[in-house]
Amino acid sequence: MLMEKERRLIAEYGRKLVEYNLTRGTSGNLSIFNRDEKLIAISPSGMDYFKIEPEDIVIIDINGNIVEGHRKPSTEIEMHRIFYERREDINAIIHTHAMYSTVIACLNLSLPPVHYMLASAGMDVRCAEYATFGTRNLAENAYKAMEGRKAVLLANHGLLTGGRDIKEAFSITEEVEYCAELYYRAKSIGEPRIIPNKEMELMLEKFKSYGQ
């Protein structure tokens, strides 16, 4: 079985998305790119995350052709491929319909740095222009809006994050959703004070050495 380690990680983190209330039902998708093999392991389309086993994960090449797997791959293949083609710093992608991030995305707003933890994703999280799900247009819009960042809101759709590995992509998903909830709640009682660019630039530097 090709990419067995990556398949197990996708099955594991798919369940974590539901357990951590970062998605619901069968919505969202995950993938991991093996740069040495030029192969992508991606979650199957429309399956219950708690029923997905490693053998249900689909292996595709960088052009989107199925290499191994008996399931239909996620409809968002293009939105994963474009980052693996163009971003050397991204080897894993997570797409969710996390509640607060999606609320902000439905307003077609970007998420400003209301909390320093947003630095895990970048200076802020832009909102990409709307496009139909599963299309190359959506992939191009997401790529453009995520320039210089590791997260992007998808207008009227959800959240997309990328990381050097699936662990980082998941962590960024958590932090962006947390900051989106803070922003939502702060706006409900007043106007939140946004962290200045100079301070966020400092946070970006500090986050380069954050963690173990």
- Any idea which residues carry the catalytic annotation? 76
Measured CA to CA, the distance from residue 57 to residue 47 in angstroms comes to: 10
Phi, psi of 153, rounded to the nearest 5 degrees:
-90, 140
Measured CA to CA, the distance from residue 196 to residue 20 in angstroms comes to: 30
| CB-based burial label for 192 (10 Å; 0-12, 13-18, 19+) | middle
Task: Give the DSSP per-residue string, 53-76.
Answer: -GGGSEEEETTS-EEE-SSPBPTT
Task: Give the DSSP per-residue string, 120-158.
Answer: GT-S-B-EEPP--TTSHHHHHHHHHHTTTSSEEEETTTE
Of residues 173, 179, 170, the one with CA closest to residue 158: 173
